[in-house]
Amino acid sequence: MKTNAARKLDELGVAYEIREYDLNGAEFSAEAVAESINLPADIVFKTLVLKGDKGVCMAVIPGNKHLDQKALAQLSGNKKVEMVSVKEVLPLTGYIRGGVTAIAVKKPYPVYVDASASQHEKIAVSAGKQGAQLFLKTQDYVDAVKATLGNIATDK
């Protein structure tokens, strides 16, 4: 199964593995996905879509952490940021909730990846649809999305 994100990685010559899962319509939180693909939740990253006074941005954080919106606002130069509504996700990104990835997104938004990603050789991120994760080298992911690293996740 090739998604737009996988095709983009192919185009860039990036090696990756697709890990598929089936949660049968159940909760598809990053922690549930991590369990389904047999990876620790701290290397399965979720991609969140937010809006600030400077526009839309994306935050990529470990599945077992929460976004520190104040830290993201500061890092991104916004006064504050808020999650977009579920109905805005598809028109903004081209992906549905649970399948959002910063790779091959509809429009090039600023992407902020939690600094903890750099502690791992590889991470998993959505492949661009529910039921599939891309497992790839962290640096390849960062290069593919031209992300900024910062401390934007907390245990809250």
Q: What CATH number has the domain bearing residue 148?
A: 3.90.960.10
State the Cα–Cα distance between residues 112 and 107, nearest whole angstrom: 15
For 104, the domain range is 4-154
Which of the residues in the chain have pLDDT under 70? 1, 23-28, 156
Tell me which amino acid residue 75 is: L
Write down the pTM of the prediction. 0.93
Burial class of residue 74 (count of CB atoms within 10 Å of its CB; 0-12, 13-18, 19+): middle
Q: How does DSSP classify residue 115? A: G
Q: Could you tell me the CA-to-CA distances from 46 to 11, 53, 65, 79, 138 in Å, in that order?
A: 23, 23, 9, 23, 14
Query: In total, how many domains does the chain have?
Result: 1
The predicted structure's pLDDT at residue 124: 96
The predicted structure's pLDDT at residue 24: 66
